[in-house]
Structure 1
Amino acid sequence: MEKAKVKKKNHYVSIVIIPHDSSKTKSFDISHFYLKACACILAVIMCLTIISIRNTDLSKENNALILHVDQLDQLNKHKDIMLSEDDKYINSLKSNQIAMYGQVRQITEEYNKIAGIFLKTSSRGTSKDQNYPNAEIAQNMQNIKSLIDHFDETNDLNKDPDLEQTAHNLNVYLEHIPTFVPVKGRITSRFGIRNDPFNSTKKFHAGLDVAAPRGTPIKSAASGTVIMADRNSGYGNMIMIDHGNGLSTVYGHASKLLVKEGDKIKKGDIIAEVGSTGRSTGPHLHFEVRLNGEPIDPVNYINESKFKDEEEK
């Protein structure tokens, strides 16, 4: 009987509570079965807690991935829009380039026509009162120059040797046409019949008189070769430049000559300084354009407004 009791007691765990005071101790018997059950329940709770925490972390990671995918999708859509706009811009550039090529060819034909008439007239010889076919040549030159500038900006997209050669030929031609203003100032006497300032008789004036302060730089109206740089009784200190195709320019009454015969001159180079030498009433430049040795009106090449000082505008 005692053995049976001992065996039964081994299925329990006793918990004894001993108070600090003199109170009676208390003891509790807990079955091994309940202890195991509690341990299992505790283990299950811990496992569920760990799984819950892990699921929460996975859910956060999943939401972050979904957000990242959405951002990538938006970025791809933005890139698609940008690529589409780039394609439109490239197509627009190509269209502009095609139009520009057509414009170059059109202006080239006009240039050939102008040059042909001009050279044909030059070869016949002219008289100083003739109405020249190049009366609008200054505007034509400006149109060609603007087109060449546009050509230089856009031709890098698609090099065209033929157009490059055309642009080069046009530039060379323009460099030797007197379209550059030699001196900024007030025009005091124009081309044509005028009253002579010394005796008031009617007399033909072969160029433009442009008043400017003594010492003002005089610049070449076009590229060419100096064929005279010397003293002349009427013109005073005088320079004559040959530009080819029968064209030449004259610069008179200079106070100082800065070039000599035989010098190669570029359009816009400083060649002299304004003065009042020779038959002159005050500091000014006498500027002529000659075709086959005969004077023609310089405003055929340079608009009168281009001579004005900035202060006068």
Structure 2
Amino acid sequence: MSKQFSVIIVPHDNRTTWSFRVSYRLVVVFLALLGLAGVSMAAFVITYGRLAGLAQRSVNVSRENDRLKFQLAQVDSLRSELENLQVFRLQVKGMLGIPLSPEDSLLVASLSPTAKSPSIKKVEEDGGVGPEEQRLMLEAMPSMWPLKGYVTREFFVTGGEKSQQYHPGMDIAAPRNTPVYAAADGIVEISRFDETYGWEVEIDHGYGIRSVYGHNTRNLVSVGDRVARGKTIAFVGSTGKSTAPHLHFEVRENGVPVDPRKYLLN
């Protein structure tokens, strides 16, 4: 006969008592289940604590990654600005015909072909230019802002012409009929109405450098005209594919659009 336990319940109000028997095996099973439940609860609490710690650590790591990404973006921006300043310094050196130092030569060698302006290439190849050519190169440098206004859209060619953000020049907003000036000396190669640029003027400055002025309300120069830096060549308009009066200003090196800020002086 298996062992049994008797359980007697005696009420304090002297009412009928209750008693029942529980087998030893059932008690053992109950205690085992109770112990298992306790162990499971303890394991759950420990595991939950660890998971909560890992989750918090993951959040901290994610925040740290975001902070590092932001700092890297700032470093890249500063590096880009520094490179632009170095390129501009080399460019001015080229215009003045100053020979490159060994450090300059290393910098030129590290530049991509698209970052080298014709003036830099000239000094790189010849090591310097004569006084007269210095003057001509300086006059050909489109460094003068073509008008006073607000830049509403910057140069952006990443992704190529198929990109929706593609913009091979700079948009400068100004009131209609604001004078537009030649950015440098040169000869007018184009003065026409274009479906996209509206009334546009294109000036050849020599040395492979050209500047383009688009969306004019009207042009004041004709093909073949020789213009000097600062000469009024057109008036701001909104012709062609344009939604508001502004000037679309481009600079091209050997037919390739480059950032006008590469040449413009503040």
> Does residue 191 of the first structure (1) align with residue 155 of the second (2)?
yes
For 2:157 and 2:210, the matched residues in 1 are separated by 21
Specify the alignment match of 1:133 in structure 2: 116
CA distance in 2, matches of 1:299, 1:236: 23
- Counterpart residue type for residue 97 of structure 2: Y
- 1:171 aligns to what? 135
User: What are the superposed Cα offsets for residues 201-222 of structure 1, whole Å, 9 maximum, x if unpaired?
Assistant: 7231000000001000000001
Q: Deviations over 1:132-161 (max 9, x none)?
A: 134998xxxxxxxxxxxxxxxxxxxxxxxx
Q: What residue ranges of structure 1 are gaps of 5+ in the alignment? A: 1-106, 115-128, 138-164, 195-200, 307-313
Task: Please give the per-residue CA displacement for 1:210-242, whole angstroms capped at 9, x wherever unaligned.
Answer: 000100000000111101100000000000011
Aligned mates of 1:298, 1:109 — CA distance in 2: 17
Matched residues in 1 for 2:191 and 2:136: separation? 24
Structure 2 letter corresponding to 1:182? P
Structure 1 residues 130 and 275, CA gap change in structure 2 (3 angstroms): farther
Q: Do 1:135 and 1:300's aligned partners in 2 also have CA atoms closer than 8 Å?
A: no
Alpha-carbon distance in structure 2 between the residues aligned to 1:166 and 1:275: 41
**Matches for 1:147-226 after TM superposition, within 5 Å:** 167-193=131-157, 202-226=164-188
Query: Which letter maps to 2:145?
Result: V
Largest Rg, 1 or 2: 1
Q: TM-score, normalised by structure 2?
A: 0.52
Per the alignment, residue 18 of structure 2 pairs with: none
More displaced stretch, 271-280 vs 184-193: 184-193
- Structure 1 residue 171, shift from structure 2 partner: 2.4
Separation (CA, whole Å) in 2 of partners of 1:175 and 1:286: 22
The DSSP-based 3-state class of the residue aligned with 2:115 is: coil
Give the Cα–Cα distance (whole angstroms) in 1 for the partners of residues 222 and 228 of structure 2: 14
How far residue 172 of structure 1 moved from its aligned partner, in angstroms, is: 2.1
Is 2:231 the partner of 1:269?
yes
Q: Which runs of 5+ in 2 are unaligned?
A: 1-92, 101-111, 121-128
From 80, 97, 109, the equivalent of 1:111 is 97
Listed as ranges, the matches of 1:33-44 within 5 Å are: none
Deviation at 1:169, TM superposition (A): 3.6
Please say if 1:235 is aligned against 2:216: no
SS at match of 2:264: coil
Is 2:95–2:137's contact at 8 Å kept on the other side of the alignment? no
Go from structure 1 to structure 2 and tell me whether the alpha carbon gap of 1:130 and 1:282 turns closer, same or farther (over 3 Å shift). Answer: farther
- The 1:253/1:110 distance shift into structure 2, 3 A limit, reads closer
Query: Which residue pairs with 1:86 in the alignment?
Result: none
> When you count helix as a share of all residues, which structure comes out higher?
1
Question: Does the aligned pair in 1 maintain the 2:118–2:208 contact within 8 Å?
Answer: no
Structure 2 CA distance for partners of 1:135 and 1:225, relative to 1, 3 Å: closer
- Whole-angstrom CA distance in 2 between matches of 1:108 and 1:294: 20
Number of residue pairs matched? 152
Are 2:95 and 2:138, in contact at CA under 8 Å, matched by a contact in 1?
A: no
Contact persistence 1:193–1:202 (CA under 8 A)? no
Q: Is the 8 A contact 2:96 2:134 kept in 1?
A: no
Instruction: Give the TM-score of the pair, scaled to structure 1.
Output: 0.44
> What is the CA RMSD across the aligned residues, in angstroms?
3.0
The correspondence of residues 54-73 of structure 1 with structure 2, limited to 5 A, is none
Runs of 4+ deviating beyond 3 Å: 107-110, 134-137, 165-169
C-alpha displacement at 1:270, in angstroms? 0.5
Question: Residues 70-81 of structure 1 correspond to what in structure 2 (within 5 A)?
Answer: none
| 1:256 Cα deviation after fit | 1.1
* SS class of match (1:237): strand
Structure 1 residues 134 and 246, CA, compared in 2 at 3 Å: closer, same or farther? closer
Per the TM alignment, residue 265 of structure 1 is displaced from its structure 2 partner at its CA by 0.7
Which residue is 2:10 aligned to?
Answer: none
Once the two structures are superposed, residues 45-76 of structure 1 have per-residue CA deviations (whole angstroms, 9 ceiling, x without a partner) of: xxxxxxxxxxxxxxxxxxxxxxxxxxxxxxxx
Partner of 1:244: 206
